[in-house]
Structure 1
Amino acid sequence: MKPTNRIPRLGVDIGRVIIHGDGPDTSFIQARDDETAMRAPAVDGAIDALARLTLRFDGAVWLVSKCGPRIEGLSRRWLAHHGFFERTGISPAQLRFCRERREKAGICLKLGVTMFVDDRLDVLLPMAGVVEHRFLFGVHASSDPTVTPVPTWRATEAAIEAILDEVDRGVPLAPAGHHAQRARP
């Protein structure tokens, strides 16, 4: 494995990774008003895990979301309404939106993101060669062996912590595009 001097940086999607998707009693995407959208809960464990990870990453955590203007506005209001930035320690300046899924890879490249959590394989696959460690959230298996499935935030945090522990022991991050074989949580 070729050593790298890249500093670990985390990128996280918002929809269905931080903000729970539409459920029987709440709706975010289909909400016709702010009140309904604000009732959408956070994904179980997301805020606490991100608070701990933000400390571990020394604040190098970005939210990167693909959506249109209406959902961008709802997302910004949801994050403020739920005190997300205060509760996690993530800076509001570290929030990025794009209109096309494929744009996330370029944003990650520009920010130097080394790990990314998303619930869509079609977002994570184009990040090969850009983001060293890609995590497919909310599933137990991935059809692509270079993407780590993480069904919950507990599993996500454990997988990320294992990589950070290796970095702390002097094991360099794998160069982008190289998938180190790791035990799956």
Structure 2
Amino acid sequence: MIGIDIGRVIISGDTDIPNQFFSEDYLSVSPVTQAFMAIQQIVETYTPQNVHLVSKCGEQTQQRTLQWLTHHQFFEKTGVIPTQVWFCRERHEKRSICEAQNIRTFIDDRFTVLQHLLELDQLFLFRPSEEELEAFENANSPDKVRLVDGWEALLKKLT
């Protein structure tokens, strides 16, 4: 089972920053380069039942995220099952979602999320911000987390 974060991994910009995703024009925010193509390949390789989206956000962002995914035909283009999208309000809560869904691989742009998931088999730090990269580099267990600079690099490292 694979878990994929949404903000800055699928949807460009950070959903934690209001001026990026909270304007009236939020549906025009573009996807991360190659995200749909790469996720489609992941779905084809691991089957739709084994791919989950897991996002930390507030209620309004949750609704906008679902609208964005629908507007951009994400589910049709990638094969991800719409009922396999999970939301939580705190970053550390992604761990309980991973446990409940038996997710063993996780892709996120925040090391501050991945540090709660060190018991999983594969962790990918996806195009982190400078702050998240610094947290990763200063961590005690960086060997558990693999740094990737985009979807093409991730597909090459995903086993």
Normalized against structure 2, the TM-score is what?
A: 0.87
Q: 1:13 aligned to 2:5?
A: yes
**Superposition pairs of residues 9-88 of structure 1, within 5 angstroms:** 9-21=1-13, 28-31=20-23, 33=24, 36-59=25-48, 60-88=50-78
> What secondary structure is seen at the aligned counterpart in 1 of 2:13?
coil
Counterpart residue type for residue 146 of structure 2: T
On the 8 A contact 1:136/1:147 being kept in 2, the answer is: yes
Report what 2:85 is aligned to. Answer: 95
On the 8 A contact 1:12/1:62 being kept in 2, the answer is: yes
Runs of at least 5 residues in structure 1 that lack an aligned partner in the other structure:
1-8, 164-185
List per-residue Cα deviations over 1:115-159 (Å, max 9, x = no partner).
100000010011112x11100001496422211001100011111
Runs of at least 5 residues in structure 2 that lack an aligned partner in the other structure:
none
> What secondary structure is seen at the aligned counterpart in 2 of 1:126?
coil
Q: 1:106 aligned to 2:106?
A: no
Q: Name the CA distance, whole Å, in 1 between partners of 2:5 and 2:20.
A: 15
Corresponding pairs, count: 145
Larger radius of gyration: 1
> What secondary structure is seen at the aligned counterpart in 1 of 2:157?
helix
Q: Which of the two has greater helix per residue?
A: 2
Q: Name the CA distance, whole Å, in 2 between partners of 1:14 and 1:82.
A: 13
On the 8 A contact 1:10/1:115 being kept in 2, the answer is: yes
List per-residue Cα deviations over 1:40-59 (Å, max 9, x = no partner).
00000000000011010111
Output the aligned Cα RMSD. Answer: 1.5
Q: 4+ residue runs of structure 1 moved beyond 2 angstroms?
A: 27-30, 139-142
> What secondary structure is seen at the aligned counterpart in 2 of 1:42?
coil
List per-residue Cα deviations over 1:71-98 (Å, max 9, x = no partner).
1011000000000000000000100000
Report what 1:150 is aligned to. Answer: 148
Q: Name the CA distance, whole Å, in 2 between partners of 1:135 and 1:14.
A: 14
Q: Percent identity?
A: 37
List per-residue Cα deviations over 1:88-110 (Å, max 9, x = no partner).
00000100000010000110011
Counterpart residue type for residue 13 of structure 2: G
Q: 2:127 aligns with which of 128, 132, 138?
A: 138
